[in-house]
Amino acid sequence: MIAFEDAVDCVLQACGRLPAERVALTEALGRVTAGEIRSPVDLPSFDNSAMDGFALCTDGHGIPAGREFAVGGEQVAGDGVRHADRGRACSIMTGARLPDGLDAIVPVEQVDVFERNADARPTRIRLAAAVAPGQHLRRAGEDIAAGALALPAGHWIGANELMLLAGLGLAQVDAVRRPRVALLSTGRELVDDPARPLQPGQIRNSSAPFLAARVPAAGGEVVLRATVPDEPARFAAALEQAAGGGAQLVLSTGAVSMGRFDFIPEVLRSLGAEILFHKVAMRPGKPLLFARLPGGALFFGLPGNPVSSVVGLRFFVEPAMRAMLGLPRERGWRLPLMHDASKKPGFRLHQKARLQLGATGRLGVELLPGQESFRTRPLIDSTVWAALPADREALAAGDIVDVFPLAHEAGVALGPQATGAASP
Ligand SMILES: Nc1nc2c(c(=O)[nH]1)N[C@H]1C(S)=C(S)[C@@H](COP(=O)(O)OP(=O)(O)OC[C@H]3O[C@@H](n4cnc5c(N)ncnc54)[C@H](O)[C@@H]3O)O[C@H]1N2
Ligand code: MOO
Ligand SMILES: [Mg+2]
C-alpha cells in the first residue's frame, strides 16, 4: 500500500502537459490558456462618459458651482468623433465617446436646466456643484492597456475570462488540448438504461453519469463510454476500443478489490500494462489502481463504491488532468474543524463536509454524517472535502485540516507564494 502523497506524486510525474490548439472564443469556456494573452488594444478603446450628463471643458482647472453653459449638441453611445465647442456643454450619455476638446462630465443630477427647446431638450444649464478636470470619465486603456497581460499561461477560462477576451475583440485563443478520456464501467449488476426495469440483484449505474458530467467540467473530453460485465475478455476489448478512440486517460469503475470478480489487475498484467500502484493508504477509495497501458495511456481503476469513485476522481484524476492542462498543482485551504473527530490511524480520510460560520463568525469545517462509501445522498449537502491526515487518530475542535472544494475548477487559485496552503 502506498502513502497518499507518494501516490499523488507518482500520478503527477506520469502526466505531461498536452500541446496547444487554436480554438474559437465561443468554444473556449472551460479551456486553459496555452500561453499568456496580451491585450491587442486599449480597453476602453476611447475616452468615454461614465454618466448621463454634460461634457465640459475645464482646461485642466476646476469649474466652480453656479457657472452657466449653453448646450451645443448631443453625444450618444455609438456616435463617432465629434469636435466640440470648448465654451459650451455637450449633452452626453453613458458610454458615449468624449467629444474632442472636452475633459469632464457633470451628471444630470448636478445641473439645473433652466432653458429647453421645443423638444424639451436642455439648451442652457447651471452647475449645481463644482466640476473637477477628468471627473466621471473612463479613459482609454484604463481597464487594460494595449500590450498589458490579459490572461497568464495556464489560466482556466471561465465566464469572467470570456467577458474580458470578448471585450478585447479576440475571436480565437490558444488553449491546451483537452485530455481525451474513456469511461469504462464494470459490473454485471449494472443497468445503464433508466427505462429498463431492474431484475433482482441489479442496480442502476450511477457512477458513469457522475464521471461523464465531471470529466468535461474538469477540462477533459469523454471519447468513449462503455459498460462491461465482469468478464476479462470484454474488459480487454473495451481497453482496445479506448485506445482506438485515442484516449489518453482511461477510467474504470469497480473490480479492483479482493473479490473473485475483481479482475482488473490481472487483465492489466496480462496485457503488459505497468501497474504503478494499487491500494492507497486512504479512505474511502483504498483499492485505487494506477497503471500505464501498453499504448502509453494512463489508467485509473476507480474502486466501485460510488463515493470511492468520487474521491478517486477528485484527488487523483483531476490533479492528473490539471497537470495535462498545464494548470498549477492545486492548493486547498486550511481551516479549523468545528467539532472533535476520530479516525483510524494509518489512512488519510476524505470526509464529506461543509463550510460553516462558527459562533465568533469564523469560518470552519463541519464533517457530515453518512460517510460510508455507498452513501451518495450526503454529497448533496456537502460543499467541500475535508482531508484528515493519515497519522492522526483523534482530532479536536479547532484543529486545522486541509479542505478542498468539491470540484477543482471551483477552487480559489492561490499563488505559489501562498503559505500554509495544502496540496491534495
Ligand atoms: N475483503 C475485502 N472486500 C472489500 C475490500 C477489502 O479491502 N477487502 N475493499 C472494499 C472497498 S474499500 C471498496 S471501495 C470496494 C471496491 O470494490 P471494487 O472496486 O472491486 O468494485 P466492485 O466490487 O465491482 O463493486 C463494489 C460496489 O460498488 C458498486 N458499484 C460498482 N460500480 C458501480 C456503478 N457504476 N454505479 C453504482 N454502483 C457501482 C457495486 O455494485 C458494489 O456494491 O470493495 C470493498 N470490498
Ligand atoms: O475504500 Mo472503500 O472505498 O472504503 O469503500
Ligand atoms: Mg469488488
pLDDT of residue 255: 94
Contacts (Cβ under 8 Å, ≥6 apart) of 126? 66, 67, 68, 69, 111, 112, 114
Return the closest-CA partner of residue 224 out of 271, 184, 268.
184
CA-closest residue to ligand 2 atom 5: 373
Please compute the mean of the pLDDT values over residues 337-343 and round it to a whole number.
96
Phi, psi of 41, rounded to the nearest 5 degrees: -145, 165
CA-closest residue to ligand 1 atom 46: 257
pLDDT of residue 415: 43
CA of 211 to the centre of ligand 1 (A): 16
**With bands split at pLDDT 50, 70 and 90, how would you rate the model's confidence at 423?**
low
User: Which residues of the chain are in CATH 3.90.105.10 domains?
Assistant: 22-42+151-176
Whether the bond into 44 is cis, omega within 30 of 0: yes
Q: Measured between alpha carbons, how far is 287 from 279 in angstroms, rounded to an integer?
A: 4
CA of 223 to the centre of ligand 2 (A): 27
Ligand 1 atom nearest to 185, measured from its CA: 35
pLDDT of residue 424: 54
Tens of pLDDT, residue by residue over 138-181, are 999 999 999 999 999 999 999 999 999 999 999 999 999 999 99
Q: Ligand 2 within 6 A of 283 CB? A: yes
Tens of pLDDT, residue by residue over 10-43, are 999 999 999 999 999 999 999 999 999 999 999 9
Fold of 48-138: Molybdopterin biosynthesis moeA protein; domain 3 (2.170.190)
Q: Hey, which CATH number is domain 333-419, 3.40.640.10, 2.40.340.10, 3.40.190.10, 1.10.10.10? A: 2.40.340.10
Q: Ligand 1 within 6 A of 192 CB? A: no
Q: Measured between alpha carbons, how far is 375 from 365 in angstroms, rounded to an integer?
A: 20
Contact by Cβ (8 Å): 73, 82: yes
CA of 33 to the centre of ligand 2 (A): 36
Please compute the mean of the pLDDT values over residues 313-338 and round it to a whole number.
95
Give the residue, 145 or 329, on which the prediction is more confident.
145
CA of 263 to the centre of ligand 3 (A): 9
CA-closest residue to ligand 1 atom 2: 258
Residue 330 reports pLDDT greater than 70: yes
Residue 189 reports pLDDT greater than 50: yes
CA of 262 to the centre of ligand 3 (A): 5
**With bands split at pLDDT 50, 70 and 90, how would you rate the model's confidence at 413?**
low
Q: Please state, rounded to an integer, the average pLDDT across all residues of the chain.
A: 95
SS in 3 state form for 371-383?
CCCCCCHHHHHCC
CA-closest residue to ligand 2 atom 4: 284
Residue 270 reports pLDDT greater than 60: yes
The bound ligand whose nearest atom lies closest to the alpha carbon of 286 is: 2
Which single residue is written with the C-alpha cell 493508504? 281
Torsion of CA 133, 137, 138, 142, to 10 degrees: 10
The bound ligand whose nearest atom lies closest to the alpha carbon of 189 is: 1
Contact by Cβ (8 Å): 90, 102: yes
Tens of pLDDT, residue by residue over 56-114, are 999 999 999 999 999 999 999 999 999 999 999 999 999 999 999 999 999 999 999 99
Q: Ligand 2 within 6 A of 304 CB? A: no
Tens of pLDDT, residue by residue over 225-255, are 999 999 999 999 999 999 999 999 999 999 9
Fold of 22-42+151-176: Molybdopterin biosynthesis moea protein, domain 2 (3.90.105)
3-state DSSP helix/strand/coil percent for the chain, to nearest 5?
20, 35, 45
41: cell is 488594444
Contact by Cβ (8 Å): 110, 76: no
Residue 50 reports pLDDT greater than 70: yes
pLDDT of residue 411: 66
Please compute the mean of the pLDDT values over residues 260-289 and round it to a whole number.
95
Q: Measured between alpha carbons, how far is 37 from 39 in angstroms, rounded to an integer?
A: 7
Is it true that domain 4-16+178-325 has CATH number 3.40.50.1370? no
